[in-house]
Chains A and B, each alone.
Chain A
């Protein structure tokens, strides 16, 4: 991020400066530390370990073996579930875990970009969840509610997803620009409103699948579906749509005038105002575009991965988006890389739960620990006895007042 090299960094950029100066080593150590603590949690709660610990003093090797067995089998299953499964019947099948990882990573990229773009303009977008939900709702409505020729239908459905997310993000940006209301509070509230709105819509005639008691929508039409690549995997064209979105975000931030304005506002809103940049308009625009990308992520969920709309269409994507943007240091490339890592964690955790019975929620623990450690470099440096650098204390400034 060479554009960050000036000394006059303010607000959001200082935070990411802190992340960046920590270096790759810090990121890797944070991930390692989080996995270690996750491992401790797996081990401590394992019934086998507890059983052998009861006679630890007489046969300590039993306990140690059980500990090793517990942790290593869980993480081995996680690896097999996310990268390569060596026990699969054929080479093609052994790569299915990799496809799963990419499937889970797909919506994370778009949602992560929504948060990352807003970060660059000095805003904290906690609202990716709502933007995904509204995007998925509109994309789904076009997908199953309209009858259009194949390619046009898909294009229109994805566009509807963009518009849905963009409106939901834009509302927050506009309220911030016009009234100064804190975007964190507004986006949190909009998340809940979006969830309730979708829950309501799924009870209506328009959205409810015929003859279904559960609140789920009809399947999207084949003409609007994002094509899948393999028979055994849900991996679909959405991945490339998301990669395009990442390329667009890179272009926006480093090659366009609008992106320059965003970054100027993020660096220092007062200086940007003096330079003739409308801070309010930049806030609205960045939330609109970012929200739109999250909306496309929602569209890829409903048109590709899930094929129908339900209240759980967004899962925990909204939170994952924040972690992905932080881990990716709010750069588009970093966001893609972080999405792949967290996609792998998710995919692996599903296999881990099936094979070793370790609850899938360990992913949430590991994920949140990674972000905590990355956000507090002095802590990780202290743990690993790294050379202590002067901590940049500006980290806390993003977000400002509520």
Chain B
């Protein structure tokens, strides 16, 4: 291990020289298997003659669209064939020695999910718009959390404490907004709470070189302990003073919110969601188009080289962990000020870990993480929607999807996932 600290770890080294000849067949194979699964289970096996109906408009939309009704069996089969076509294209690309592009994976995911959806709602109707609204609502904290993890891991600091930072943000935003009586104060307090948790993480891992995962795990529990304790002591008995923050109103953006289907989903939201749009775009540009981003990635990929080039490795790490903490704290505010309107114990309910999964599935890129988070949010929302109309599969299995997909992903079954090379390793200047 000592030698590994000084050189690039072996796994990336063997991929480097053989660029022209290294072919990774796992992705096309998995695409093919999932495509076949869709074809058989969603397309061939079910009885024909039923229709799946998707509502496209909410009652208060300006432009009303009629619900779309499609024959379930035919539509699911066609979509499954699209999946298989993508698998074939991916296989062709791999044969040519090219990598499977991200957009192809996303298209495959969308086609597979639509095929599943057509099968699942056969014989009944769901509103696509409200399903998408629910998806976005559940994805917002995931996206903030994934960005938080990314800020740390791009510099080589693993942040398992995303959950704790979300929860701290949710707690402090609720308490601050209640005490002052102004939701905006809560919105300012939330990133500070995430920042505080991140500061502890940074001090222990970057300054004292303590194992990053252990500190992360412990911080999660510390935040749960402190917030639960204060909830029982103060927030629950003195609810009016401590736990009545209120909620942000939902703002309609003129014109944009009139777009059918996606308008009310994307542009009739609270301020926190609009902040999220900006943050995602900024994070993408900052990471991949600026000098700052180059430095951050250099620190994560090869800290020694970065140090030689005059970059303060541990300073960059420290700052990025703090930045990530602030983002996660902001995401936490969405629970209290955006969605529920008050704090309840452990209200993040594992979102931090799904955010971690979204970051991995999104291959440590902001755009990828957004799509992964949307997919996970969609699965989570769908299990409650399908619970109402009678789901063909138990809701617990729908909820399992993110976790299973992540195991597939880190095991290399879905695409090739490569974390920053020095992720998790402390940088000790000799």
Output the least CB separation between B238 and chain A (Å): 9
Count A interface residues, CB 8 Å.
61
Alpha-carbon distance between A58 and B362 when the two chains are bound, in angstroms: 60
Alpha-carbon distance between A402 and B221 when the two chains are bound, in angstroms: 21
For A378, the closest partner residue in chain B by CB is: B208
CB of A252 within 8 Å of the partner chain: no
Q: Which of A196, A323, A379, A398 contacts B208 (CB 8 A)?
A: A379
CB of A182 within 8 Å of the partner chain: yes
Q: Is there an interface contact between B403 and A192, defined as CB atoms closer than 8 Å?
A: yes
Q: Which of A61-69, A282-290, A359-367 contacts B (4 or more CB under 8 A)?
A: A359-367
User: Within 8 Å CB of A184, what residues of B?
Assistant: 160, 213
CB of B214 within 8 Å of the partner chain: yes
Q: Is there an interface contact between B426 and A179, defined as CB atoms closer than 8 Å?
A: no
User: Within 8 Å CB of A379, what residues of B?
Assistant: 204, 208
User: Within 8 Å CB of A363, what residues of B?
Assistant: 225
User: Within 8 Å CB of B153, what residues of A?
Assistant: 402
Q: Is there an interface contact between A322 and B211, defined as CB atoms closer than 8 Å?
A: no
CB of B419 within 8 Å of the partner chain: yes
Q: Is there an interface contact between A200 and B397, defined as CB atoms closer than 8 Å?
A: yes
Alpha-carbon distance between A268 and B2 when the two chains are bound, in angstroms: 10
Most B CB atoms within 10 A — which of A196, A319, A365, A401?
A: A401
For B230, the closest partner residue in chain A by CB is: A45
CB of B62 within 8 Å of the partner chain: no
Q: Would A359 and B228 be within 8 Å (CB), given that A372-B218, A401-B423 are in contact?
A: yes
Alpha-carbon distance between A186 and B209 when the two chains are bound, in angstroms: 24
Q: Is there an interface contact between A364 and B228, defined as CB atoms closer than 8 Å?
A: yes
CB of A400 within 8 Å of the partner chain: yes
Alpha-carbon distance between A215 and B217 when the two chains are bound, in angstroms: 29
Q: Is there an interface contact between A189 and B221, defined as CB atoms closer than 8 Å?
A: no
Alpha-carbon distance between A185 and B423 when the two chains are bound, in angstroms: 13
CB of B11 within 8 Å of the partner chain: yes
Q: Is there an interface contact between B232 and A359, defined as CB atoms closer than 8 Å?
A: yes
For B360, the closest partner residue in chain A by CB is: A185
Output the least CB separation between A365 and chain B (Å): 4
Alpha-carbon distance between A181 and B26 when the two chains are bound, in angstroms: 15
CB of B58 within 8 Å of the partner chain: no
Output the least CB separation between B410 and chain A (Å): 4
Alpha-carbon distance between A371 and B205 when the two chains are bound, in angstroms: 14
Q: Is there an interface contact between B229 and A391, defined as CB atoms closer than 8 Å?
A: no
Q: B residues 108-165 with Cβ under 8 Å of A?
A: 153, 158, 160
Output the least CB separation between A382 and chain B (Å): 10
Count B interface residues, CB 8 Å.
58
CB of A197 within 8 Å of the partner chain: yes
Alpha-carbon distance between A269 and B2 when the two chains are bound, in angstroms: 11
Q: Which of A185, A190, A193, A372 contacts B204 (CB 8 A)?
A: A372
Q: Is there an interface contact between A45 and B225, defined as CB atoms closer than 8 Å?
A: no
User: Within 8 Å CB of A31, what residues of B?
Assistant: none
CB of B219 within 8 Å of the partner chain: yes
Most A CB atoms within 10 A — which of B212, B214, B357?
A: B214
Output the least CB separation between A26 and chain B (Å): 14
Q: Is there an interface contact between A319 and B217, defined as CB atoms closer than 8 Å?
A: yes
Alpha-carbon distance between A330 and B279 when the two chains are bound, in angstroms: 42
Alpha-carbon distance between A393 and B9 when the two chains are bound, in angstroms: 20
Alpha-carbon distance between A396 and B156 when the two chains are bound, in angstroms: 12
User: Within 8 Å CB of B282, what residues of A?
Assistant: none
Q: Is there an interface contact between B425 and A401, defined as CB atoms closer than 8 Å?
A: yes
Output the least CB separation between A231 and chain B (Å): 32
Hey, what's the 0/1 contact readout for A386-402 against B, CB within 8 Å counting as 1?
00000101111111111
Most A CB atoms within 10 A — which of B153, B221, B356, B357?
A: B221
Alpha-carbon distance between A393 and B400 when the two chains are bound, in angstroms: 38
Q: Is there an interface contact between B226 and A365, defined as CB atoms closer than 8 Å?
A: yes
For B412, the closest partner residue in chain A by CB is: A179
CB of B281 within 8 Å of the partner chain: no
Q: Is there an interface contact between A361 and B228, defined as CB atoms closer than 8 Å?
A: yes
Return the 8 tightest CB-CB contacts between A and B, nearest first.
A364-B225, A359-B232, A200-B396, A361-B228, A365-B225, A368-B222, A181-B410, A396-B426
A-B contact pairs, 30 of them (CB 8 A): A11-B1, A175-B410, A184-B160, A185-B410, A188-B353, A192-B350, A196-B397, A199-B396, A268-B1, A270-B1, A319-B221, A361-B225, A361-B228, A365-B222, A367-B221, A368-B225, A375-B218, A379-B204, A379-B208, A393-B426, A396-B205, A396-B211, A397-B1, A398-B214, A399-B213, A399-B214, A399-B424, A401-B424, A401-B425, A402-B360
Known: A376-B210, A395-B208, A401-B423. 9 other contacts (CB 8 A): A185-B406, A193-B404, A365-B225, A372-B222, A396-B205, A396-B211, A396-B212, A402-B360, A402-B423
Give residues in B with beta carbon < 8 Å to A.
1-2, 9, 11, 153, 158, 160, 200, 204-205, 208-215, 217-219, 221-222, 224-226, 228-234, 350, 353, 356-357, 360, 394, 396-397, 399-400, 403-404, 406-407, 410-412, 419, 421-426, 428
Give residues in A with beta carbon < 8 Å to B.
10-11, 15, 41, 45-46, 124, 126, 175, 178-182, 184-186, 188-190, 192-193, 196-197, 199-200, 203, 268-270, 316, 319, 322-323, 326, 359, 361-365, 367-369, 371-372, 375-376, 378-379, 391, 393-402
